[in-house]
């Protein structure tokens, strides 16, 4: 019998606790439009969509070192920028890119808090996302009395470490314009 291991899509040897900005995209299972619909270029939330918005908005209440930046809950995915303000970068390693901006996407040569599958690191981006997905799933199951067998999320998520201020502004604009470009978006689904 073969032992199958999940392969992480995270950057190997990158400390996801260090200060900086992270662009996150999380999709629903099978990209099902669970969170609402786009109407006249505006997102109209379902009850499940409101749960997702509330849970995303509550992240800083559960993780005091996380600040929210631009985000949107779309019909079948969530885009958001999270900022770690006082993470594992306390020693000052990493490359600074502007006063108060945190660190650039540079892995340290010696890691303190490397997340491994099945071994969560407190306060890391993977832990924050796992907590968010769990809270939304619980809220939806509680509200609709669905069975735990009803899967809400795709197994993983996408993340990008934002390297500089121009990239941050470009990603913010992309998130803001997501409803307007819904029909041409790669996450688009009519279901």
What tens digit of pLDDT does each residue of 158-169 get?
999 998 999 999
Please tell me the predicted confidence (pLDDT) of residue 14: 60
What is d(CA 96, CA 103) in angstroms, rounded to the nearest whole number? 5
Question: What's the length of the chain?
Answer: 191
For residues 45-68, give the mean pLDDT.
96
Please tell me the predicted confidence (pLDDT) of residue 44: 97
Contacts 24+ apart (CB under 8 A), 134-141: 135/55, 135/58, 136/48, 136/51, 136/52, 136/55, 139/51, 139/54, 139/55, 140/34, 140/48, 140/51
Assigned CATH for 20-180 = 3.30.70.1290
pTM, two decimals, is 0.76
Q: pLDDT-derived band of residue 59, with 50, 70 and 90 as boundaries?
A: very high
Percent over 90 (pLDDT), the chain: 56
Residue-averaged pLDDT of the chain: 78
Within a 10 A sphere around the Cβ of 187, how many other Cβ atoms? 16
Within a 10 A sphere around the Cβ of 98, how many other Cβ atoms? 10
C-alpha R_g of the chain: 17
For residues 13-38, give the mean pLDDT.
88
For residues 136-161, give the mean pLDDT.
85
Q: Both tokens of residue 16?
A: 């996801």
Q: pLDDT-derived band of residue 190, with 50, 70 and 90 as boundaries?
A: low
Q: Is the pLDDT of residue 39 over 50?
A: yes
Name residue 25's beta-bridge partners: 79, 158
Q: Is 68 exposed, middle or buried (0-12, 13-18, 19+ CB in 10 A)?
A: middle
What one-character DSSP code corresponds to residue 89?
T
């Amino acid at each position: 019998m073969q032992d199958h291991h999940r392969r992480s899509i995270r950057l190997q040897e990158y400390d996801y606790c260090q200060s900086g900005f992270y662009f996150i995209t999380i999709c629903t299972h099978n990209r099902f439009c669970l969170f609402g619909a786009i109407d006249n270029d505006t997102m109209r939330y379902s009850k499940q969509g409101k749960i997702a918005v509330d849970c995303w908005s509550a992240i800083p209440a559960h993780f005091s070192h996380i600040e929210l930046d631009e985000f949107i809950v779309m019909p079948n995915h969530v885009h958001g920028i999270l900022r770690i303000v006082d993470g594992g970068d306390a020693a000052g390693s990493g490359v600074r890119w502007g006063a108060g901006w945190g660190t650039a996407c540079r892995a340290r040569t010696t890691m303190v808090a490397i997340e491994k599958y099945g071994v969560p690191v407190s306060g890391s981006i993977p832990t924050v996302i796992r907590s968010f997905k769990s809270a939304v799933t619980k809220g939806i199951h509680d509200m609709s009395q669905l069975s735990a067998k009803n899967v809400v999320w795709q197994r993983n998520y996408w993340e990008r470490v934002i390297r500089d201020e121009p990239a941050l502004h470009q990603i913010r604009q992309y998130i803001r314009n997501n409803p307007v470009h819904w029909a041409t978006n790669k996450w688009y689904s009519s279901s």
